[in-house]
Structure formats: C-alpha cells, structure tokens
Structure 1
Amino acid sequence: MPLNRRTFLRQSALTAAGSCLLAAVPMDLLAAYRKPVGSNDVINAALIGCKGMGWSDLTSMLKIPEVRCVALCDIDQNVLAQRKADLDKINLRPDTYTDYRKVLDRKDVDVVIIATPDHWHCLQMTNAVAAGKDVYVEKPAANSIREAQLMVDATKRSGRMVQVNQWQRSQDHFKNAIAYVHSGKLGKITMTKTWMYRTGTTPLEPVPDSAVPQGVDYSMWLGPAPKRPFNKNRFHYEFRWFYDYAGGLMTDWGVHLIDMVLMGMQVEAPKSVIASGGKHMFPADARETPDTQIVTYDYGDFLMTWEHSMGAGSGLFGLNHGIAFFGENGTLVLNRSGWEVKPAMVKNESRIPVVDWQKQSDNGLDKHTINFIDVVKSRQYSQLACPIEAGARVAINSHMGNIAQRTGEKIFWNAGSNSFDSAKANKLVTPEYHNGWKLPTRLS
C-alpha cells in the first residue's frame, strides 16, 4: 500500500499519542515517505542540540521532502554518533560538530534548529541570524527577560525568519478554542487559570560531582553559565531544574499554557506579579526550582494564576495540565487533549450553549514545522505561527513568575522604563555571562 502524506502524518502522530513529549519519527517510516526533489528546491537544515526535542524537531521537519539535514552539532559525541547512524538509514550523511559556530560558518546551511539548554538560546539564535540563517528555536525562547528582548531586536534587524517551537499554536483545537474566546460568547472574563500537575514525579536524588563522561565537551555545554564541576543531575534532561540553565516547570510548561491566555486575552505584560511556593514535596532532592508554586498575575482588568505541583495532585477539572477562561456566561477549559465550554447557570438556565469536548485531532509539531518551512520559502514573516515576538512575550511573563518567587516580593512592572519597582527583581532581569562568552548587545 503506498504511503501518502495523509497516512504518513496520521501514523507519525500516533507515535506521540498518550505522551506529553512528542516522539521522534521512526526512521523506516520516514525513509518510506521521503522523495527526491530538484536541487533548486532543497532547504539545507542543521541541528544544534541533537537529544530530546531537537531530534523530534528535526525528524518532523524531515517529513517535508525538500528539507535535507547537512549538519549535526552536539557537545556529546555519543549522541552525535547515534543521530548520524539514524540519519544514515534514510541516506542522509550530515557532517558533525561540537562547536555551533562552525555550523554557522557554513554557507550552504539555510535553516538552523536550536534545541540546546535554555541558557544557550539567546547567544546561538542571535549568532545564527547574524550569519544569515533562518532559525527554529526551542521553547522557552530565552532564559531571562533581557535575553528575550535581545532576541526580538536581533531578529528585526536581521530580516530572518525565526519560529519558536510553541507548536500548540499550530494545532486546530487550540486555534478553535482561542477563536471562541475572541468571539465574546463567554462574556466578560475576569479570571484565567493555567496549571501543570506533574504526577508521578519522584525525587532527583543528590549525587556527588564526578568526572566528565567520555566524549562530552563540558566546557562548551556550560558556555555562558557559571563554571561548576560536572554533576549528572544538572546534565541532559535534568538541566531544566537549575536556574543557571532554565526555569523549572514555570518556564518549561508555563510558556505553552500561559501563551494561550496571552493570546486569548490579547495582552502583553502584567502590571504586577506575586508568587508563593518552594520545595515542599521533595525538600531534600537535588532540584533547585520549586516543586510547588502558585503565581498570580494582575493584567489590570483580569487575573491569571499559574500553579504547578510535582508529585502531588491530579490537576484542575480532572486534567493534569490546562488553561481555563472564566467568563460571566461560562468557562472554557482547554488542554492538549481538547477543549469544552461549561455554561454558567442562572435560575437553572444556561447562559450559553454547552460545547462538548472537542478532541485533539492533528499533529501540532508537524503543522508547526510545515508552517516554518512555508515561511522560509515565502519570506512572509507575518505568517509564522509563533514568531520570536510571541515566544519572547510568554517567556518574559513566565520569568516574571520565577522572579516574584525568588525575591519573595510582589513586583510591579513598568513597561515604559522596562524595569520592576524592586532592586532585587531588577538584578534577575539580565543574566551575567561567564567563561569568556558575552551577552549580545542591543543596538537600539
């Protein structure tokens, strides 16, 4: 039976079904689908950060026949060897690098996928657009407020196409739910909620520092982060629980969910933020970021709360993650599985019709990478599903939640001065770069 595009996308979507992570496409399935294209139509892609979501991003992009991978870059030779072997199965034989700058020096690279730890995103993305590359960068866009702003500035000045991998924006049921919010049917909305209950989380047991694993360029992995001895609890997937490299669940999941509120309510930044929480479930484990956190954002005419829990609870509305818009006429509840509307009842009458659960039916990551490649070809920046401005906006909002948590203060944001009212908070706006790496400069 021939494998057409619709069948292929349906089968590849099933590889991710039932998981919060998007699975990479099996090589045999990908090989069966890829067809030769003319040399003038080829788009040469390079992947920087080949583990986890970077590999999922690349294999999703390789479903598009004109995309070819010509370079892989990772600080772990073991990962590089595995990915090179994987691509050999579909007759792609990219060159491999441990220094991303050598990838950017290549004139034949059109598109760069950046899927390194968060603390690398700003430097690598700004370097990439300066080198004339279009960029597909993992979320969160940046690891600080200032880095996010610098990335927007660099993109505008370069004229390059930059998409952030907040793939929910490309998924039909998310778009339909936000369109319902914009319709006004919910009436006045004064409260929104976002949440992630990471049930099943276990403690990250502390381990002593150790020798750097063979084949790992640890100095390059650290990059602009503070110099520290190697510890496996801070490496690969676990980096996200340490402020040197990331922002915990607040930024890891927050950017996906808070983004829907910012879209639905059409706002930029809060007037104030207050947070509480800490390491309540696993007080002695190795993680630095909170396992329990509640943040309240005041946008002037409505509030948003973010809450997360690791290892406890089952979430709101019976959903372990989600977004809710509370209107005078009813409540819209949305997550990666689907959405629904629960009408408000007045004297036993519904103010608006029920909207039964609208189930997720498509592959958001695939549609997101297709959108990016379409824009790379058309050069119509306005058609990007998640341009850097959108990715930066939600990253900034998410980092504000962490800043409120870390300072223990209610913080007020002044958009005019681009600063908080708190000296403690302002110290967390701009990161300090180390080991000879320099924070990009803003030209405006």
Structure 2
Amino acid sequence: MNSRRKFIYQTSALALGSLALQSFNSKNFSFINKSASDTIKIGVIGIKGMGWSNTQSILKVPGTQIVALCDVDKSVLDERMTELQKKNIDTSKIKTYGDYRKLLENKDVDVVIIGTPDHWHALMMIDAVAAGKDVYVEKPVGNSIEECKAMVAAQKKYNRIVQAGQWQRSQQHFREAVEFVQSGKLGNIRTVKVCCYQGWMKPAPVVPDSAPPPGVDYKMWLGPAKTRPFNSSRFHFNFRWFWDYAGGLMTDWGVHLMDYALLGMKASLPKTVSALGGKFAYPELAQETPDTLTALYEFDGFNIIWDHAMGIDNGNYNRDHSIAFIGNNGTLVLSRGGWEVIEEKRSENKVLVPFKGRSDNGLDKHMENFVEVLRSRKQSDLNCSIEAGAHIATVCQIGNIAFRSGQKLVWDKAAGKFTDEKINQQYLMAPYHNGYKLPKI
C-alpha cells in the first residue's frame, strides 16, 4: 500500500485564501512509488463534462480505480454513480463529496482529476499538489497569466506529477504532421492560420436570475469568482462564455489548436498581439466573450493568425477547425481528423501529401501516458506538462487581453508581462473574491 502524506486543513483556511499552503509542509512525508501491480486510486473533481470524459478514459487503463467523486451539483453525482453501477463497478467503495477540500483529505486518493470550470483550476491544482496528490488538470490550466505562473511554481515546489488536459499532444497524426512541418519540405513558412469555426456552439438565451436548482452548492461553484445571483445561462457548459469563469473559444479550443501552431514553429511567446471581434453572430444571447474574433500574433520571421466564429462550420479549407502552415512549397493543413499537404503550384519542390486520417484516440493515449508517468515518476515523459499547459494558456490569454483592451500589446518576454503597466494591473490576474487568494509560491 502507498503511504500517504499527512494533510491537515485549518477550518479558517477558506478566509485566508488557498487552504493548503499554510498548513502543509512537503518535508513532512515521503512518497513511495507504486509498482506496476499497485492500483492507482483516483478522485475526480467536477464530473459534468470533460471531467467525466477523463474519468471514463482513465478507467480503460489497467490498474486504475475510482475511489472518490466530487461535484457541487448533487444530481450530477447521483447520475454518475448510477452510470458506474450500470458498468458493474462497485460504487460502495466510491466516496462522494460536494466540497473538494474533503476529497483532498481522503488518504486513499493518489491522483486527482480536475474537470471544473476554468476559474477553479488553479486553486484546486495547487491545493491538490500541496496535499500530496498527483494531478490531471483540464485545459486551459489557468484562467489568468498569474494563475498559470503559480501552478507551475506549485508543481515544482511539491514535485508532483501534473499533466495538462491537452490530449492532442498524445495523438499520433498530430505528431506526424509536426515532424513534416519541421522537416523543411514546406519551405519558408511565413504564416500559420489557425481556424476555429464551431457551428454547433451557441450561447444560452438571456433569462432572469433565479434560485439555484435543488442540490446545487452555488456558493462553492462561484468560489473565487465575483458573487452574483444564480443564472442558468451562466451555469454548467455555458460558464465558458463569461470572463468571470473562462475565456470563450480562445481558451476553450484555442489552447488545443494554437498549441500545435506553436509546436510546429518551435515558437515561444509573441512579440506583439492585436485582436478584433465582438458579439456579431448572437448579440441577443447571454454571452460576454466574443463569438467572432481574429487575433494577429507577431513572431520573429512569421505571424500566427487566430480566427474563430460560433455558428459557422464552413471555415478555412472547408473545415470547421484547422491549423494551416503556409510555406513557399506547400501548405500543410492539420485538424483532429487528419492532415494533408496542398502543393504550391509554382513550386519546383514536389511536396504533395494525400490526406492522412487519425489512427488513434487522443484522450485515451493521453491517459495512458499519464498513468505511465505516475508509475515511473519521470516528469520529462509527460506529453503535456504543467509548464506546457501554462505556456499555451498564456498565449491564448494574451490574445483575449488584446481584444478586451482594444490595444496592440507588446509582450516583454524577459519580464513575463506586457510593456504597458496599466494593462498588467488590469488583466494579468483574474480578480479573486469571497475571501479566496491566489497563493504566493
């Protein structure tokens, strides 16, 4: 059996901000690696959407077991327990919680999967690693640039395994496409166009505030976000269209697609960013983030263009999403479905590559990689470390900040912030409320 680290919660910790850092010292315990025959016991926080997809995926990996589920909506907890029973899983051994802090006190939990709305990711991940748990955290890893920095620092301080939920990094055809991009066969690549047209995505209608549904701990759902009356059009899936909790399509799909644009170009952070957009498709619906947005990222020697639109499926190259590396000899077009190279007609270098479809399940492969590293403890073998997740989340947040500020922004890479201090003060950190504070690590 794996000896767990002692973790004591102080009852006043909520008012002090993130609860773990004042009461936990990583030197108080030692972690015993699990052998291949040991069962890895998992607790999941947030099981409505991707948290549940992640749960089902990791259960496919031999030697894993769900021992705890947490959600602020009791009806979701009940639904998931029923689903597990139908899969002939013994739910008598699974504890359920409405408060994630209680789950972290459970000594049987080795690993925590975080599938909550974005505004909770940072605090939960930091608390989890401080409690001695390894973590799989959904993307985007943080809801602000400062949160991303704190998450990276926490992983280093507590030396836990932390995988970011950008599963495309584990999918074979994405890797093959990047290898081709970096082979030089496309010639000089001057522009990368990243398109995200999502016809099925539509915000909810504007509705009056109301009481939370029975069984929903709305105060806990809000957490560090600004206290507002409950509104069903801001809840569950639709949280992603409001700045209090997320960053719209830019951070929802952008962290996946822009990630591969950066990987292909071996790019770090942009020099400048500008963005234009608005609520052009559904101005009458409940949404703060833009349903239409174009952002221009300037790097040395090339540009990356982000282009998203809700309510439209016919994007670039007749795809609803794509990453196009446009070179002198040809253009490589990459999506979740596969990749191909469209030859430049005037090029003397023949680089035509017929469409190559996907051959595996990226999420399943990502979980296999995560579990493998949980056993080996080799951080460098993670397909998407917290550093990688924080990097792409930061790039996408820079695009959103350019849109929200209405300015062309210059990024100071050495200082890790914008050259405009007013922008830094206003946007680098998501405001925390209700007694919560982002830990200083």
Q: Same fold (TM over 0.5)?
A: yes
Instruction: Say which of 72, 77, 88 aligns to 1:75.
Output: 72
Deviations 1:334-375 (A, max 9, x none): 0000000112222xx552331000001210000000000000
Work out the CA distance in 1 between the residues paired with 2:36 and 2:372. 17
Work out the CA distance in 2 between the residues paired with 1:263 and 1:357. 21
Q: Quick one: which amino acid aligns to residue 265 of structure 1?
A: M
Equivalent residue number for residue 365 of structure 1: 363
Taking structure 1 as reference, are residues 306 and 343 closer, same or farther at Cα in structure 2, changes over 3 Å only? same
Question: Is the partner of 1:204 in helix, strand or coil?
Answer: coil
Residues 145-156 of structure 1 aligned to structure 2 (within 5 Å): 145-156=145-156
Equivalent residue number for residue 440 of structure 1: 439
Work out the CA distance in 1 between the residues paired with 2:369 and 2:408. 39
Question: Is the partner of 1:178 in helix, strand or coil?
Answer: helix
Residues 156-305 of structure 1 aligned to structure 2 (within 5 Å): 156-202=156-202, 204-305=204-305
Are 1:62 and 2:82 matched, yes or no? no
Are 1:351 and 2:349 matched, yes or no? yes
Residues 305-324 of structure 1 aligned to structure 2 (within 5 Å): 305-312=305-312, 314-324=314-324
Equivalent residue number for residue 341 of structure 2: 341
Q: Quick one: which amino acid aligns to residue 117 of structure 1?
A: P
Equivalent residue number for residue 7 of structure 2: none
Q: Quick one: which amino acid aligns to residue 409 of structure 1?
A: Q
Equivalent residue number for residue 401 of structure 1: 399
Question: Is the partner of 1:86 in helix, strand or coil?
Answer: helix
Q: Quick one: which amino acid aligns to residue 308 of structure 2?
A: H
Taking structure 1 as reference, are residues 203 and 386 closer, same or farther at Cα in structure 2, changes over 3 Å only? closer
Q: Which runs of 5+ in 2 are unaligned?
A: 1-34
Deviations 1:51-96 (A, max 9, x none): 1111110110001121000000000010111111222332243100
Shift of 1:385: 0.6
Instruction: Say which of 364, 382, 385 aligns to 2:383.
Output: 385
Residues 330 and 351 of structure 2 are in contact (CA less than 8 Å); yes or no, is this contact kept in structure 1? no
Question: Is the partner of 2:276 in helix, strand or coil?
Answer: strand
Work out the CA distance in 2 between the residues paired with 1:78 and 1:190. 51
Work out the CA distance in 2 between the residues paired with 1:368 and 1:120. 22
Are 1:95 and 2:95 matched, yes or no? yes
Shift of 1:40: 5.3
Q: Quick one: which amino acid aligns to residue 106 of structure 2?
A: R
Q: Quick one: which amino acid aligns to residue 349 of structure 2?
A: R
Identity level (%): 53
Work out the CA distance in 1 between the residues paired with 2:164 and 2:255. 11
Residues 432 and 439 of structure 1 are in contact (CA less than 8 Å); yes or no, is this contact kept in structure 2? no
Work out the CA distance in 1 between the residues paired with 2:37 and 2:415. 48
Taking structure 1 as reference, are residues 50 and 233 closer, same or farther at Cα in structure 2, changes over 3 Å only? same
Taking structure 1 as reference, are residues 203 and 118 closer, same or farther at Cα in structure 2, changes over 3 Å only? closer
Work out the CA distance in 1 between the residues paired with 2:121 and 2:109. 18
Equivalent residue number for residue 12 of structure 1: none
User: Which is worse superposed, 392-401 or 199-208?
Assistant: 199-208
Instruction: Say which of 44, 50, 66 aligns to 1:53.
Output: 50
Work out the CA distance in 1 between the residues paired with 2:136 and 2:416. 27
Work out the CA distance in 2 between the residues paired with 1:208 and 1:161. 43
Question: Is the partner of 2:182 in helix, strand or coil?
Answer: helix
Shift of 1:137: 0.6
Question: Is the partner of 1:317 in helix, strand or coil?
Answer: helix
Equivalent residue number for residue 10 of structure 2: none
Q: Quick one: which amino acid aligns to residue 334 of structure 1?
A: L
Q: Which runs of 5+ in 1 are unaligned?
A: 1-37
Deviations 1:249-286 (A, max 9, x none): 01000000000011111112101000001011111211
Shift of 1:420: 0.8
Deviations 1:156-204 (A, max 9, x none): 1111110011111111100100111111111211100111111144452
Question: Is the partner of 1:183 in helix, strand or coil?
Answer: coil
Work out the CA distance in 2 between the residues paired with 1:352 and 1:90. 55
Q: Quick one: which amino acid aligns to residue 375 of structure 1?
A: V
Taking structure 1 as reference, are residues 203 and 375 closer, same or farther at Cα in structure 2, changes over 3 Å only? closer
Question: Is the partner of 2:140 in helix, strand or coil?
Answer: coil
CA RMSD, Structure 1 to Structure 2 (Å)? 1.5
Work out the CA distance in 1 between the residues paired with 2:430 and 2:354. 46
Residues 395-434 of structure 1 aligned to structure 2 (within 5 Å): 395-426=393-424, 427-434=426-433
Q: Quick one: which amino acid aligns to residue 272 of structure 2?
A: S
Work out the CA distance in 2 between the residues paired with 1:39 and 1:87. 25
Work out the CA distance in 2 between the residues paired with 1:393 and 1:339. 25
Residues 73 and 96 of structure 1 are in contact (CA less than 8 Å); yes or no, is this contact kept in structure 2? yes
